[in-house]
Chain A
Amino acid sequence: MGRNIVIETHDLIRIYGSITAVDKLNLTIYEGEIFGLLGPNGAGKTTTILMLMGLTEPTSGSISVMGYDPTREPLQVKRVAGYMPDSIGFYDYMTGRENLLYTASLNQIPMKEAERRADELLSRVGLKEASDCKVRGYSRGMRQRLGVADVLIKDPKILILDEPTLGIDPEGVKELLELIVKLSKEEGKTILISSHLLYQMQEICDRVGIFVKGKLMVCGKITDLAENISGEKECAVELIMKPFDVAAMEIIRSIDGVKDVYTQGAMLVADVQSDEIAVKINRELIERGYIIYHFRVRGYTLDDIYRQYFGEEGVTI
């Protein structure tokens, strides 16, 4: 994978009245990667995306998208980048196909080529049968898929998707995420996704940036982030084993470094001083003849990382 920088921001600030929506953002996105912009609602994700697309002007700071400045050369940026807003809308009195053709015509794609691409994309996102129905009758999931086709019709090098999985059923989410990964890996597109749904992002993102109150708290690969926050810190171990008995609790409690053991739902949870202790618990139980069905150290998933940063933020502000 090339390490060419595709999107770069430098000390990007956007202030609305007294609210700083984006605060000194320094972001670098490389060619061909899937970058997840994570954060709760109102963290400044959408504002950042709008500035990248040149739809909103930054208060200060600079942006470069494929070498173009979105504020000064918005048309160049819009030609190479496709943007799918979170509340995507279509002209509902037109058919799905007509909507795509209109977008294509705004991109100066010749009619024949546009029709070819529209048909190809519609079957790719699974809307081939509905392509000549009015968008009025589309379900939420169908609209979202039409949105993906709409972004792809101009064949952009960069895809910017704002909350693309919102409101789609699990099967649809799975298909969409597969499509996104395929676009990145097979067609080499650079993809920027904003979302607050962590597990989904964890599955597909090469790197993530966590946004809280306009600030980029942390940025990097998920595994690196996890190491940063767990390491020497206390963590919890989730366990389900057979037999699930009191003796097991006693065994765990007797290990050095275990602070507490308690049941939580169908699981046993042990608070331990470090993740080395967790390994020790695992080994100990197996030696005693227990069969372990479920073993997880909390503090390694994006959810935990996320909570960690939000928690900190909650305390300090």
Chain B
Amino acid sequence: MIKQKEVTVTSFDKGTKRGSSGGFYKVFIKELSDQLSSIRFLILFFLILVTGVASFYVAASSIRDTVEEMGNEFVFLRLFTTSGGSLPPFTSFLSFLGPLVGLSIGFDAINGEENRGTISRLLAQPIYRDDVINGKFLAGLAVLGMMTFALGGLVGGMGILLTGLPPTGEEILRLIIYLLISVVYMAFWLGLSVLFSLLFKQAATSALAGIAVWLLFTIFVPLLSGPVADLIYPIRGQDDIIGQLRNITLQQNLSRISPSTLYDEAVVAMLSPGVRTLGPILLEQIYGAVPGPLPLGQSLLLIWPHITGLVAGTLIIFGITYTIFLRREIRA
């Protein structure tokens, strides 16, 4: 009893001073529980869970053939990247559905409050405005983190049971980094959808805008980068090596505008240690190279720009959202 009283006194004192208002934690907890109990999150989570587990199961049952073909190194990781027959690999599902989860968490973050008329009531309480936006964004991030790691752990454990192969230390590290990159990638879409929820008054509009950008980045940017590169560096013939090289480099760099390309490349490098480069490579460059998997550090180095790009994109979008929200005039 006495102890509890002391706690409340100190927290109240803290509130009256400038500095933390204590509102962040309260908003965070509420948003977290709202998200976790929302039906739309449950639907998407089960969608990912079912597809993920199914593809993983198929991959695990066909792993024997791939081991015969490609040797037995990093078999555990190959469970995530192998497409067993008809089903695409686990990573494809996460890469495809992950953005949808991010979008679904954030698309009505602000305009939902506005439409319900709760935003003016919320901001009339003694909390800072950034407590609201930070609380909402970080709660979404926490949900994504929990979901991704729960999923990764679940299918990972399933892999051990199905194949009887314990993962090596490096494999576990690579898996954790893969899951972290996935969280960052989904956070990018979360940030984008929160931004749209601030820009558009209707939740449906912001959801559609988010899906439009998602389609643009996952389908059209990689699709269009080829023709655009052909326009700028047309390939004149089989012998035009320099032209071909320029064409391919440009095409690849154009498609890297899209965060989904960045993510997919990063995932490939992280989960397939055999991948030594992500760009075009000449025969001369391979000459004399010792075949074998890259060590973890080198794989990380290979995708470091990708990770930086994803984190920077997420932060920039959140920064824009934050600034707009703080300057936004709240009308009842």
Contact: B121 with A89, CB < 8 Å?
yes
Which residues of A have CB within 8 Å of B116? 89-92
Contact: A103 with B125, CB < 8 Å?
yes
Interface centre among A46, A92, A103, A108, by most B CB within 10 Å? A108
Contact: B332 with A106, CB < 8 Å?
no
Cβ 8 A contact of A89, one of B34, B117, B331: B117
User: Using an 8 Å CB-CB cutoff, how does the interface string of A92-112 with B read, 1 for contact, 0 for none?
Assistant: 110000000011011110101
Which residues of A have CB within 8 Å of B330? 50, 55-56
Beta-carbon nearest neighbor of B112 in chain A: A91
Q: Is A41 an interface residue (CB 8 A)?
A: no
Contact: A107 with B125, CB < 8 Å?
yes
Contact: A85 with B125, CB < 8 Å?
no
Q: Is B127 an interface residue (CB 8 A)?
A: yes
Interface size class of chain A, counting residues whose CB lies under 8 Å from the partner chain: 20 to 34
Beta-carbon nearest neighbor of B115 in chain A: A89
Interface centre among B22, B116, B122, by most A CB within 10 Å? B116
Beta-carbon nearest neighbor of B21 in chain A: A75
Contact: A78 with B124, CB < 8 Å?
yes
Interface centre among B12, B16, B22, B26, by most A CB within 10 Å? B26
Contact: B8 with A53, CB < 8 Å?
no
Beta-carbon nearest neighbor of B132 in chain A: A106
Which residues of B have CB within 8 Å of A56? 329-331
A162 and B124 alpha carbons, distance in the complex (Å)? 13
User: Using an 8 Å CB-CB cutoff, how does the interface string of B115-149 with A read, 1 for contact, 0 for none?
Assistant: 01110111111111000000000000000000000
Beta-carbon nearest neighbor of B39 in chain A: A93
A154 and B23 alpha carbons, distance in the complex (Å)? 14
Cβ 8 A contact of B331, one of A50, A75, A76, A83: A50
Beta-carbon nearest neighbor of A108 in chain B: B15
Contact: B332 with A79, CB < 8 Å?
no
Q: Is A284 an interface residue (CB 8 A)?
A: no
Beta-carbon nearest neighbor of A160 in chain B: B124
Beta-carbon nearest neighbor of B4 in chain A: A110
Smallest CB separation, A84 vs chain B (Å)? 8
Task: Give residues of chain B (11-56) contacting chain A, Cβ–Cβ below 8 Å.
Answer: 11-12, 15-16, 21-23, 26-27, 30, 34
A107 and B125 alpha carbons, distance in the complex (Å)? 7
Which residues of A have CB within 8 Å of B122? 106
Beta-carbon nearest neighbor of B127 in chain A: A106
Contact: A106 with B26, CB < 8 Å?
yes
Known contacts A46-B332, A108-B11, A79 near B126 by CB under 8 Å? yes
A84 and B4 alpha carbons, distance in the complex (Å)? 31
Which residues of B have CB within 8 Å of A53? 124
B interface residues, how many (CB within 8 angstroms): 29
Which residues of B have CB within 8 Å of A84? 121
Smallest CB separation, B13 vs chain A (Å)? 10
Q: Is A86 an interface residue (CB 8 A)?
A: yes
Which residues of A have CB within 8 Å of B123? 55
A75 and B127 alpha carbons, distance in the complex (Å)? 6
Smallest CB separation, B3 vs chain A (Å)? 12
Interface SS, B side? helix
Q: Is A271 an interface residue (CB 8 A)?
A: no
| CB contacts between A and B, total, < 8 Å | 79
Which residues of B have CB within 8 Å of A179? none
Q: Is A150 an interface residue (CB 8 A)?
A: yes
Which residues of B have CB within 8 Å of A79? 16, 126
Contact: B15 with A55, CB < 8 Å?
no
Task: Give residues of chain A (39-94) contacting chain B, Cβ–Cβ below 8 Å.
Answer: 46, 50, 53, 55-56, 75-76, 78-79, 82-93
Which residues of A have CB within 8 Å of B329? 55-56
Cβ 8 A contact of A50, one of B4, B15, B332: B332
Smallest CB separation, B192 vs chain A (Å)? 24
Interface centre among B11, B27, B118, by most A CB within 10 Å? B118
Contact: A75 with B126, CB < 8 Å?
yes
Which residues of B have CB within 8 Å of A106? 23, 26-27, 122, 125-127
Contact: B26 with A85, CB < 8 Å?
no
Beta-carbon nearest neighbor of B18 in chain A: A75
Known contacts A85-B332, A89-B117, A102 near B30 by CB under 8 Å? yes
Contact: B120 with A75, CB < 8 Å?
no
A150 and B120 alpha carbons, distance in the complex (Å)? 13
Interface centre among A82, A90, A91, A106, by most B CB within 10 Å? A106
Task: Give residues of chain B (102-124) contacting chain A, Cβ–Cβ below 8 Å.
Answer: 116-118, 120-124
Smallest CB separation, B22 vs chain A (Å)? 5
Smallest CB separation, A143 vs chain B (Å)? 9
A112 and B329 alpha carbons, distance in the complex (Å)? 35
Which residues of B have CB within 8 Å of A105? 26
Interface centre among A75, A82, A86, A90, by most B CB within 10 Å? A75
A87 and B116 alpha carbons, distance in the complex (Å)? 9
Beta-carbon nearest neighbor of B113 in chain A: A89
Contact: B26 with A82, CB < 8 Å?
no
A75 and B12 alpha carbons, distance in the complex (Å)? 13
A233 and B11 alpha carbons, distance in the complex (Å)? 61
| Interfacial residues, chain B to chain A (CB-CB below 8 A) | 4, 8, 11-12, 15-16, 21-23, 26-27, 30, 34, 116-118, 120-128, 329-332
Can you name 16 A-B residue pairings with CB atoms under 8 Å? A56-B330, A75-B126, A78-B125, A78-B127, A79-B16, A79-B126, A82-B124, A84-B121, A85-B120, A85-B121, A85-B332, A89-B118, A90-B121, A106-B23, A106-B126, A107-B125
5 tightest CB-CB pairs across the interface, nearest first? A89-B117, A85-B332, A83-B124, A106-B125, A110-B8
